[in-house]
Amino acid sequence: MPKLLKSKPDDVTLAHAVETKFLELCGAYLRIKGSELPIPPVIDKAILLWRRMRVRHTCKRKKCGSREIGINKDGKPRCMACGGKGDYRHTEDELKAVKDVASWTVQVNASIRNQPPVSLEFQ
């Protein structure tokens, strides 16, 4: 089993932002093209890994279960709904998958809106 690494606040925020942008892309694709967004097999595995990371980041309090993540004063990720902790860890493959999905989302979004292709650079 791959080793789980502690997620930095930037990693948690990136995974959350990708989810927001991916859902916006799905809606925009449906409005513009009139059909659901086709997921190519190349990116399908990355989406599964990224979703697994997002589920792990879900608040662990029984009554909450929120996926809205914020950064507290100490610079640590916390649930924005109740202040609870999630399991903010990831594998190297999951973090790479988040970056792959982010890049793919930006490329598809640019193509459906007839904009020039944009490439993301991660540090």
Q: Dig out the tokens for 115 from the structure.
A: 């904009």
pLDDT category of residue 79 using cuts at 50, 70 and 90? confident
Q: What is the dihedral of CA 85, 87, 93, 97, to 10 degrees?
A: -40
Model pTM score: 0.87
pLDDT at residue 83 in the model: 79
The residue ranking higher by pLDDT, 100 or 87, is 100
Strand, helix or coil for residue 38: coil
DSSP structure class, residue 2: P
Interatomic CA distance for residues 121 and 123, integer angstroms: 7
What angle is formed at CA 23 by the lines to CA 66 and CA 21, rounded to 5 degrees? 95
d(CA 115, CA 110) in angstroms, rounded, equals 5
Start-to-end C-alpha separation, the chain? 26
Average pLDDT, the chain: 90
Residue 69 DSSP class = E
Give the containing element (helix H, strand E) for 109. helix 92-112
Percentage of residues of the chain with pLDDT beyond 90: 59
* pLDDT level of residue 60 (50, 70, 90 thresholds): confident
pLDDT higher than threshold 90 for residue 24: yes
% pLDDT > 70, the chain:
100
